[in-house]
Amino acid sequence: MATSIELRPLRHGEAGGLSRLLWRAFEHDPLFRHLFRSRWYAGRVVPLLFGARVRDALRHGCIDVAGAGGPPLATAIWLSPGHFPPTARRILAGLPAYLAVATLFLDRLPDLWRLTEGTAIVADEPHWHLEYLAVDPNRQGQGVGSRVLNAGLRRADDAAFACGLTTSNERNLALYRRFGFEVRDESQPFRDGPPIWSMWRPAAALRADAGPEPGAPGENRPIRSRGR
């Protein structure tokens, strides 16, 4: 069964739901599992962090969502060129989450700080920074993430900007490579934590593959559905 997926900006009043979608998508992410050892606790604190990031991107970037007529099923959260790394701004915005972490997991606070600093990416060049890409777990692996990612990449290409991101999940490297990203750096910034990969996608004029993205789904490709 083909499901029609619409790409659109975030609507007024959807920010809270988006934080919960982010948490469902990242619940098993290696980095969040490292930072928060208790799943119960993480389920309460991480959405606070996501809420701060969503509000920040609403002011300093772009939030694309994909839906099927209802609430967002997927999102790509971007910071616009010149707004990364916004360390001081992030700490202020995420203060409730930092305080919550400090009360229970004091030893994880330095790692949270490093995360806030932007982990391993070092990019002096202005670029669109992908903060989060997330798909509802029930809809993963059906091309929805590729569609919502592609919308932001086109925006960057149209304005001749590069793109950057970090990920702690090795499986994601193949996805991003299909869209022209390359690994710039692999680091181990967290004590006993997962590796972090920084990926970079040069501006269109500097990419050999510029033009239609190799492996990117076409605009009219039907989205695979599990028939839910």
Q: Which residues contact 83 (CB under 8 A, 6 or more apart)?
A: 60, 61, 129
Cβ proximity to ligand COA: between 85 and 88 the closer is: 85
Q: How far is the CB of 199 from ligand COA (least distance, A)?
A: 9
Sheet holding 182-187, edge to edge: 6-9, 61-67, 74-79, 127-135, 162-167, 196-201, 182-187
- Between strands 127-135 and 162-167, the pairing is parallel
Q: How far is the CB of 108 from ligand COA (least distance, A)?
A: 20
Cβ proximity to ligand COA: between 96 and 182 the closer is: 182
Q: How far is the CB of 158 from ligand COA (least distance, A)?
A: 21
Cβ proximity to ligand COA: between 67 and 143 the closer is: 143
Q: How far is the CB of 16 from ligand COA (least distance, A)?
A: 19
Cβ proximity to ligand COA: between 80 and 142 the closer is: 142
How many Cα atoms within 13 Å fall on the side-chain side of residue 63? 24
Cα–Cα distance list, 102 to 105, 109, 151, 186 (Å): 6, 6, 37, 28
Chain positions contacting ligand COA, by CB under 6 A: 25-26, 29, 133-135, 140-146, 165, 167, 169, 171-172, 174-175
Q: How far is the CB of 205 from ligand COA (least distance, A)?
A: 25
Angle at 74 between CA 156 and CA 193, to 5 degrees: 85
Cβ proximity to ligand COA: between 80 and 150 the closer is: 150
Q: Select the residue whose beta carbon is closest to ligand COA and give its number.
A: 145
Cβ proximity to ligand COA: between 45 and 74 the closer is: 74
Query: From CA 215, how far away is CA 101, in angstroms rounded?
Result: 40
Q: How far is the CB of 22 from ligand COA (least distance, A)?
A: 8
In 3D space, the residue among 37, 46, 16 whose CA is nearest the CA of residue 115 turns out to be 46
| DSSP H helix total and E strand total for the chain | 8, 7
